[in-house]
Copies of this chain bind each other. A is one copy, B any other.
C-alpha cells in the first residue's frame, strides 16, 4: 500500500514514529506562513488553506487552524492597514493516526512563556470507530 514499510533506520514504535511526524507538521506550519499578509476579512480563508495543506501530509487525519489577526499588535493606518502573520496569531491542532495509534499536537503562542509552544496534547489508542459512517472527517 505504502511504498516502504518504515522510513526510519532506527527501531521505532508506531506511536514514536507518529510523534516525530507530528513535530514535522507543526514545525513546518510555523516556518512556512509567517509573513503572509492577513486581515480580519481574510484570516478564515488563510486558516482553511493551511489546513488543506497540512492535510496532504502523511498520517494526518484531522487539522484545525485558528488565525486571529487581532493578536498581531497594533495595525497600520490607511494603505498600511493590514498585518503580517506572526506566531501570536496561530493556534494549530493536528491529529495523526497510524493503525490504532493516534497523536495530537498543538502549536500555540504562550504569552506566559513568551514562546510559540508546540506540544503533544494526546498520544494513545484511537477511539474505536463509530458504528455508522461518520468518522475521521476533517473539520473545516
17 contacts between A and B (CB under 8 A): A2-B79, A4-B113, A8-B120, A9-B119, A17-B19, A17-B120, A21-B23, A23-B25, A24-B26, A27-B27, A34-B35, A35-B87, A37-B53, A37-B57, A46-B53, A58-B80, A76-B114
- Closest B residue to A77 by CB, please name it: B3
Bound together, the chains give a CA A32 to CA B52 distance in angstroms of: 17
Say how many copies of this protein the assembly contains. Answer: 4
Contacts of A127 in B (CB 8 A): none
Q: Is A89's CB within 8 Å of the partner chain B?
A: no
Min C-beta distance of A40 to chain B, whole Å:
11
Q: Is the CB of B80 within 8 A of A3?
A: yes
Asked if A1 lies at the interface with its beta carbon under 8 angstroms from chain B, I say yes
Q: Is the Cβ of B20 less than 8 Å from the Cβ of A120? A: yes
- Give the B-binding residues of A (Cβ under 8 A): 1-4, 7-12, 15-17, 19-32, 34-39, 42, 45-46, 48-49, 52-54, 56-59, 73-80, 82, 84, 86-87, 103-105, 113-124
**Contact with A48, one of B26, B27, B45 (Cβ below 8 angstroms):** B45
Which B residues lie within 8 Å of A82 (CB)? 56-57
| Bound CA–CA A15/B123 (angstroms) | 14
Q: In the assembled complex, how far is the CB of residue A38 from the closest CB belonging to chain B, in whole angstroms?
A: 7
Q: A11-B123, A16-B16, A46-B52 are in contact. List 10 more A-B contacts (CB 8 A).
A: A4-B113, A9-B121, A20-B22, A20-B120, A21-B23, A23-B24, A24-B24, A24-B118, A80-B113, A86-B86
